[in-house]
Amino acid sequence: MTAVDWEKLRTVAQDAMSRAYAPYSGYPVGVAALVDDGRIVSGCNVENASYGLGLCAECGLVSELQNSGGGRLTHFTCVDGKGDVLVPCGRCRQLLYEFGGPDLLLETPGGILPLSEMLPQAFGPDHLTK
């Protein structure tokens, strides 16, 4: 297995961040992830005048994942407006869990961690079939 190019993934996330629509929070976010077939998907936050309707960057990412052929997320990174690594919010950890499961690797300010450490004892698709 070849080593994952986290720097490249971060560059894609930073590029997505540059296209964020965040006029209300002034806090642009970009995300990128590697898919198990080698694709890279990304997203940026898209806010709304009705504040609660704002979409996190991860919403765009999972939408692109599904709309470009599906698959499983294997590696994920998230950056803030300075391009620095950011932890995904709680709701978005759940979005990522759906498509990456507990073994999805996240780049965090505390190093590379599996999603199982960022969202312990997660509720997920398996609960609905057991």
Nearer to ligand THU, 35 or 42 (CB): 42
Catalytic residue chosen out of the listed positions 7, 47, 58, 98 = 58
8 Å CB contact between 96 and 57: no
DSSP class of 60: H
8 Å CB contact between 30 and 43: yes
| 3-state DSSP assignment of residue 59 | helix
Shortest spacing between CB 41 and ligand THU, in angstroms: 15
Would you put residue 72 in left (φ > 0), alpha (ψ -120 to 50) or beta? Answer: beta
Count Cβ atoms below 10 Å from residue 119 Cβ, excluding itself.
20
8 Å CB contact between 33 and 75: yes
User: Please, which of residues 48-67 interact with ligand THU by CB under 6 A?
Assistant: 54, 56-58
Given the rule CB under 6 A, which of 9-17, 64-72, 86-94, 113-121 is the region that contacts ligand THU? 86-94
Q: Is 92 in the site for ligand THU (CB under 6 A)?
A: yes
Nearer to ligand THU, 88 or 100 (CB): 88
Nearer to ligand THU, 25 or 68 (CB): 25
Q: Is 81 in the site for ligand THU (CB under 6 A)?
A: no
Shortest spacing between CB 28 and ligand THU, in angstroms: 8
Query: Has 7 been annotated as catalytic?
Result: no
